[in-house]
Amino acid sequence: MGVSGCGKSTIGKLLARELDIPFFDGDDFHPESNIKKMSNGQALNDEDRQGWLQTLNNLAIKQLTKNSCVIVCSALKQKYRETLSHTIKEKTKWVHLSGSFEQVLKRLNNREGHFMPAELLKSQFETLETPDEAMKIDIKITPENIIKKIKQELMKTSEFGLFGLGVMGKSLCRNLANNGFKISMFNRHVNDVEVDVAKNFKAEYPELAQAEAYDDIAAFVNSLQQPRRIMLMVNAGKTIDYVIEDLLPHLSKNDIIIDGGNSNYKKTKQRNEYLKTKGIHFIGTGVSGGEEGALKGPSIMPSGDKEAYKKIAPFLETISAKDKNGLPCCTYVGPEGSGQFIKMVHNGVEYVEMQLLAEVATILESLGQNPDAIANTLNNWKATADSYLLEITTAIFQKKEGDDWLVNKILDKAGNKGTGNWTTIASAELGVPSTLIASALFSRYISFYKEERLQLNKLFEKGNTSQLNLTTNEILEAYQFARIINHYQGFKLIAEASNKMDWDLNLSEIARIWTNGCIIRSTLMEELVVVFKQTSNILTNTELINTVIKYKPAAKKVVSQCILNDVATPALAEAIQFLNGITTAYTSANIIQAQRDYFGAHTYQRLDDASGKSHHTNWN
Q: Which is nearer to ligand 6PG, 248 or 407 (CB)?
A: 407
Q: Long-range contact list for 482-485, CB < 8 A, 24+ apart?
A: 482/352, 482/356, 482/436, 482/555, 482/571, 482/572, 482/575, 483/353, 483/356, 483/385, 483/524, 484/524, 484/538, 484/544, 484/547, 484/548, 484/551, 485/436, 485/548, 485/575, 485/578, 485/579
Inter-CA distances, 210 with 176, 185, 218, 395, Å: 11, 11, 19, 37
- CB of residue 355 to ligand 6PG, shortest distance in Å: 11
Cα diameter, the chain = 113
Q: Which residues of 492-511 are buried (b: 16+ CB within 10 A; e: fewer)?
A: bbbbbbbeebebebbbebbb
Q: Does residue 33 contact residue 134 with C-beta atoms inside 8 Å?
A: no
Residues that bind ligand 6PG (CB under 6 A): 262, 288-290, 347, 350, 415-417, 419-420, 518-519
Comparing CA positions, the residue from 269, 291, 271 lying closest to residue 280 is 271
Residue 140 per-residue DSSP state: T
- CB of residue 81 to ligand 6PG, shortest distance in Å: 49
The string of DSSP letters for 231-290 reads EE-S-SSHHHHHHHHHHGGG--TT-EEEE-S---HHHHHHHHHHHHTTT-EEEEEEEESH
- CB of residue 388 to ligand 6PG, shortest distance in Å: 10
Residue 144 per-residue DSSP state: H
**Rounded to whole angstroms, how far apart are CA atoms 163 and 217?**
9
Inter-CA distances, 368 with 371, 416, 477, 567, Å: 10, 30, 19, 13
**Rounded to whole angstroms, how far apart are CA atoms 404 and 57?**
71
Pairing between β-strand 400-401 and β-strand 281-288 as defined by DSSP bridges:
unpaired
**Rounded to whole angstroms, how far apart are CA atoms 236 and 302?**
16
- CB of residue 261 to ligand 6PG, shortest distance in Å: 9
Q: Does residue 289 contact residue 266 with C-beta atoms inside 8 Å?
A: no
- CB of residue 309 to ligand 6PG, shortest distance in Å: 20
The string of DSSP letters for 325-340 reads TS-BSB---BSTTHHH
CB atoms within 10 A of CB 28: 7
Residue 139 per-residue DSSP state: T
> Which residues, at least 6 apart from 428, have a Cβ–Cβ distance to it below 8 Å?
none
Q: Which is nearer to ligand 6PG, 161 or 420 (CB)?
A: 420
Q: Which amino acid is it at 41? A: G
- CB of residue 302 to ligand 6PG, shortest distance in Å: 15
- CB of residue 354 to ligand 6PG, shortest distance in Å: 8
Q: Which is nearer to ligand 6PG, 281 or 521 (CB)?
A: 521
- CB of residue 172 to ligand 6PG, shortest distance in Å: 12
CA angle (478, 361, 514) in 5-degree steps:
70
- CB of residue 392 to ligand 6PG, shortest distance in Å: 12
Q: Which residues of 432-464 are buried (b: 16+ CB within 10 A; e: fewer)?
A: bebbbbbbbbebbeeeeeeeeeeeeeeeeeeee
The string of DSSP letters for 545-604 reads HHHHHHHHHHHHHHHHHHHHTT---HHHHHHHHHHHHHT-SS-THHHHHHHHHHHH---B
Q: Which is nearer to ligand 6PG, 23 or 448 (CB)?
A: 448
Q: Which is nearer to ligand 6PG, 350 or 574 (CB)?
A: 350
Q: Which is nearer to ligand 6PG, 272 or 299 (CB)?
A: 299
- CB of residue 581 to ligand 6PG, shortest distance in Å: 27
Q: Which is nearer to ligand 6PG, 289 or 339 (CB)?
A: 289
Among candidate residues 182, 202, 269, 343, the one labeled active-site is 343
**Rounded to whole angstroms, how far apart are CA atoms 410 and 387?**
23
Among candidate residues 350, 353, 474, 574, the one labeled active-site is 350
Q: Which amino acid is it at 394? A: T
Q: Which is nearer to ligand 6PG, 63 or 262 (CB)?
A: 262
Taking CB positions, which residue lies at the least distance from ligand 6PG? 288
62 is catalytic: no
Cα–chain-centroid distance for residue 388? 22
- CB of residue 518 to ligand 6PG, shortest distance in Å: 6
400 is catalytic: no
Q: Which is nearer to ligand 6PG, 129 or 292 (CB)?
A: 292
Annotated catalytic sites, by residue?
343, 350
